[in-house]
Structure 1
Amino acid sequence: MKFREVILFSGERFEVPQGIQRIDHNATHGWQLRYAGTKLFSDHSQDGTGAAEALAKATKELLRRITKLPAPSRLRRSPNENKTNDLPVGISGPIVRQRKGMSVRDCSFSVSLPRFGETAKRRSVYIGTENTYTVERYHAALAKAVELRTKAEETYQRAATKAKRAEGQVLKVK
């Protein structure tokens, strides 16, 4: 887990885990937890004397959320508003191309398969050639592409959650 040093207005220094932010604004002084929602842990003082106790509570709550909840995902859930077709996120096509030495063009979908901690893979899902392309084959290929993308997203989410929980173990030790 990443930590950073935070120096309060009083000069007190803290090592703060990722996911917790310091709020010092007018009458509000405390630590804001930002993981699967937000929650403020107030110092209950204007001079920052309760900051250590509030940070301990925020850290404990962060650890609880990490162990109970899935990791926040950076995967896109809805298509970009500039996307001109109604295909799901991560699926492009149909892509029509003529391969070298072939007399007819073929058609396929391109599927982006996210992998946690690595670059995404691209898979091609074949639809057919100019001679074999049908609406049924299009829908069958689209269903296969959606299934591939869904499985990759689930695998990504499991890996992200596992990594976040391993980071949480570091938080327990500190």
Structure 2
Amino acid sequence: MNTRTVTIHTGVRIRVPEHIQRIDTHSTHGWQMRYGQPTLFFSDGQGAGNGPRQALKRAVEALRQRIAELPAPTGLQKEISPNKQNDLPVGISGPILRHRPGRSVPECHFSVNLPRFGAKPLRRSVYIANQNTYSPERYQAALDSAIQMRREAEAQYQLDATEAKRRSAAKL
């Protein structure tokens, strides 16, 4: 898991994992764990057995527990962009009309962007029909197939991202 060095209000530098933020104001000092909902605050407190390092340990333990229970945030786009000029789902473009060499009739297809965790996304085509065989039923069947491909790729991406996040949390 990525870490960074944070300088707290006393000038002490501490290595902190991602998803944990330092809060230092005139009235409060502590660590905020931001992974899932709700966020949790771990105060430095006062007296023996308290302080920034002990509060950070409690925050890291809470972070480990959340990572073990929750799916990892993926950053994949969920909603259709308002600038998209059609109502196709996220990751699907088309229909694209192209004329292949050696063919007398143009054909159309959907282009599907398949995300892969830790790798470049794949782009796949889903054939709809050619100019002579096109029908609303074939369009819908191809669209359903493209949506299913995208959903499966998103589900696999989520599994892979969660597995990677849990592996990295074990190193905390």
**TM exceeding 0.5:** yes
Rounded Cα–Cα distance in structure 2 between residues aligned with 1:124 and 1:138: 13
Partner of 1:4: 4
Rounded Cα–Cα distance in structure 2 between residues aligned with 1:86 and 1:163: 33
Partner of 2:116: 115
Provide the TM-score with structure 1 as the length reference.
0.93
Alignment of 1:9-48 (within 5 A): 9-37=9-37, 38-44=39-45
Structure 1 position 73, deviation (Å): 1.3
Structure 2 alignment gaps of length 5 or more: none
Structure 1 position 28, deviation (Å): 2.4
Rounded Cα–Cα distance in structure 2 between residues aligned with 1:116 and 1:11: 38
Partner AA of 2:70 in structure 1: L
Partner of 1:137: 138
Partner AA of 1:95 in structure 2: I
Provide the TM-score with structure 2 as the length reference.
0.94
Structure 1 position 25, deviation (Å): 2.2
Whether 1:162 and 2:163 are equivalent positions in the alignment is yes
Partner of 2:92: 91
Rounded Cα–Cα distance in structure 2 between residues aligned with 1:83 and 1:149: 17
Structure 1 position 66, deviation (Å): 0.8
For the residue of structure 1 that corresponds to 2:170, the secondary structure is helix
Structure 1 position 98, deviation (Å): 0.9
Runs of 4+ residues over 4 Å off in structure 1: none
Rounded Cα–Cα distance in structure 1 between residues aligned with 2:141 and 2:124: 16
For the residue of structure 1 that corresponds to 2:121, the secondary structure is strand
Partner AA of 2:96 in structure 1: I
Structure 1 alignment gaps of length 5 or more: none
Alignment of 1:148-159 (within 5 A): 148-159=149-160
**Farther off after superposition, 18-27 or 115-124:** 18-27
Rounded Cα–Cα distance in structure 2 between residues aligned with 1:81 and 1:39: 34
Structure 1 position 14, deviation (Å): 1.1
- Measured against aligned partners, the alpha-carbon deviations of 1:86-126 in whole angstroms (never above 9, x if no partner) come to 11100000001111222211000000000000010000000
Partner of 1:81: 82
